[in-house]
Amino acid sequence: MSQHIAVIGAGLAGLVCASRLSEAGFQVHVFDKSRGVSGRLSTRRGEGWQADHGAQYFTASDPAFVQQVQCWEQAGVVQVWQPELHVAGSTSRGSGAADVVRYVGAPSMTAPARALAAGLDVQLQATVQSVQRDQAGWRIQVAEEAARAACDRLFDAVVLAVPSPQAVPLLQACAPDLAAQALQAIMSPCWSAIARFDTPCDPGFDAAFVNEGALRWVARDSAKPGRPATETWVLHASPAWSEQHLEDAPEQVAEQLVQAFVALGGGEPCSVVAHRWRYAQAAVPLGVSFLHDAGLRLGVCGDWLANGTVEGAWTSGAALAAHLVQETGAPVQDANEG
């Protein structure tokens, strides 16, 4: 009988872990609190426009991830993006950036994650509030009543694939040692604004690393492959500015980021909307691939363990899955049959 594994978090780390475990013969059940999969590889949509307001692009250096990206390219869910790049302010960050091969999801940043999720059992709008283990196995509690049936069973093992500040409260009761390790990772916030224009806005570049003032990065989202033509820019505030303005009203934030964009040579948009990522990127990752307590059968993966990038999230999830498969061998026992 198959073993049942609950994977909490349907970002890239959770999904690659889930799909590898599923391929190895485990019964995998994925839970995510959001309305869609993909986590911080995120796209916002409106009438005739869309914009990636989370991760902007990704790079690939790990051979296994390079191979995954090639598969995604062949499947048409990833394309190379070659923006006209600019570096504003000091050249300490972003100089030499033109040599890098940048990939984006196509037609949106969520496409690779959606490809991984196809065929998996994913329960959306399921906010996991607690994970508890007794001798029979793991029990999971979710906030939403509509999702309760999906976790009304025992699980043999649990994988947590959520940002560290969201992992800590789940780990504290069942695995205080892992919680203490997760507390060591530091995640920084990011205010992100999507600005739309009636007419073309041309500051002379498609994207810029900004090393002064409020901004850290700006990009013409509509110049990415496969996007609608409506002129749309994404503006990201620096971690320090985002921290300083964390509790500001989104309208105020949007106005200030637009002003900074205008100072860079951009224009005044016809509409702008701001989104706060409270846990955007791992400023201080743990520097390990994953965490795993073999006695508890509890694993933890995500970008904040590895190196705070899309590639890091994928390699962390894949490494944890390989470890679980190797350690467990052929799936043998079902906790509900126990």
Ligand X SMILES: Cc1cc2nc3c(=O)[nH]c(=O)nc-3n(C[C@H](O)[C@H](O)[C@H](O)COP(=O)(O)OP(=O)(O)OC[C@H]3O[C@@H](n4cnc5c(N)ncnc54)[C@H](O)[C@@H]3O)c2cc1C
| Binding site residues, ligand X, CB under 6 A | 8-14, 31-34, 39-41, 54-58, 127-128, 161-163, 166, 190, 192, 236, 277, 280-281, 302-303, 308-310, 313
- Closer to ligand X by Cβ: residue 79 or 331: 79
From the CB of 83, what's the least distance to ligand X, in Å? Answer: 12
- Inter-residue contact 117 to 10 (CB < 8 Å): yes
- What does 291-315 look like in DSSP terms, one character per residue? EEETTTTEEE-STTTTTSSHHHHHH
From the CB of 322, what's the least distance to ligand X, in Å? Answer: 17
- Closer to ligand X by Cβ: residue 153 or 334: 153
- Closer to ligand X by Cβ: residue 131 or 331: 131
Handedness of CA 333, 19, 150, 277 (dihedral sign): positive
- What does 241-277 look like in DSSP terms, one character per residue? HHHHTTTS-HHHHHHHHHHHHHHTT----SEEEEEEE
- Three-state SS sequence of 273-297: EEEEEEEEEEEECCCCCCEEECCCC
From the CB of 102, what's the least distance to ligand X, in Å? Answer: 8
Terminus-to-terminus CA distance in the chain, angstroms? Answer: 10
From the CB of 16, what's the least distance to ligand X, in Å? Answer: 8
- Closer to ligand X by Cβ: residue 127 or 333: 127
334: its two tokens: 């079902």
Residue 334: which H helix or E strand, with range? Answer: none
- Closer to ligand X by Cβ: residue 161 or 335: 161
From the CB of 3, what's the least distance to ligand X, in Å? Answer: 21
